[in-house]
Amino acid sequence: MAIHFISDLHLADDTPALNQLFLDTLAAWRGRIAALYILGDLFEYWVGDDDDSSYLEAPLAAMRAFAADTPLYVMRGNRDFLLGAGFEARSGARLLDDPTLIEAHGQRILLSHGDALCTDDAAYQQFRAMSRNPQWQQAMLAKPLAERHAIARHARAQSEMNKQQTGLTAISDVTETAVRELLAAHDWPTLVHGHTHRPAHHLHDASSRWVIQDWHNDRGGYLRLNEQGIAQLPLS
């Protein structure tokens, strides 16, 4: 059976159509694929495993049901980097390190969210290093839940404003140097990532790189890996 890869769903309390698309997709794929890998930014933001937002009940329950039949893996993204053991218990998913190397259907596939490869964005890389620091995370998680939500909403609004002003710029894309260094460190496998919202297939010497399509409202895409290789497909 095929393995599917998705990324950048950005589920939130104000994205009901998108949330339903995720539920429908899990139901369609449950028991019919070998495994599902979600490579970051499953949620628009994740303020901690104690988040009791009502919109989370349906997707987490659907993930538990899915994982009972089909292996389910989730990688942290730049929006949901606080996913932890509590999330694993609530969703049935297994969290992956970034990057993670897997072997399937005769191929070596290196999985990453992709944000660490955007090395031209120095300001973001500084934030990324800070936000992955265990002490910083402990201090954030020690704040009241309401305060964490307020911080996340502010960061989300700031991000949306920046995107409206600048759009997709070169600084928000991966750099060739970072990609080549990562591929070389793992003996040149095929790289699969999301984050950039630029779905494409790129060649890098003896390796290739697949960028997964993001999801938005009632559309999205995924990568399928089977005996024939990798293909980028729209959700049906």
pLDDT value, residue 167: 61
91 is in an annotated binding site: no
pTM for the model stands at: 0.96
pLDDT value, residue 159: 77
Q: How far is CA 107 from CA 77, 112, 174, 200, 230, in A?
A: 24, 16, 23, 19, 10
163 is in an annotated binding site: yes
Share of the chain above pLDDT 90, in %: 90
pLDDT tens track for 2-33 = 999 999 999 999 999 999 999 999 999 999 99
- DSSP string covering 44-99: S----TT---GGGHHHHHHHHHHHHHS-EEEE--SS-TT--HHHHHHH--EEE-SS
Q: Which of helix, strand or coil describes residue 3?
A: strand
Q: How far is CA 74 from CA 63, 88, 152, 164, in A?
A: 11, 9, 21, 29
115 is in an annotated binding site: no
pLDDT tens track for 154-200 = 988 887 776 665 666 767 899 999 999 999 999 999 999 999 999 99
pLDDT value, residue 67: 98
Q: What is the mean pLDDT of residues 84-90?
A: 98
**b (16+ CB within 10 A) / e for 178-200:** ebeebbeeeebbbbbbbbbbbbe
pLDDT value, residue 200: 96
143 is in an annotated binding site: no
pLDDT tens track for 201-222 = 999 988 999 999 999 988 999 9
pLDDT value, residue 165: 58
pLDDT tens track for 91-120 = 999 999 999 999 999 999 999 999 999 999
In the chain, count H helices and then E strands: 7, 11
Which tokens is 7 given?
A: 């990324």
143, β-bridge pairs: none
10 is in an annotated binding site: yes
pLDDT tens track for 41-83 = 999 999 999 999 999 999 999 999 999 999 999 999 999 999 9
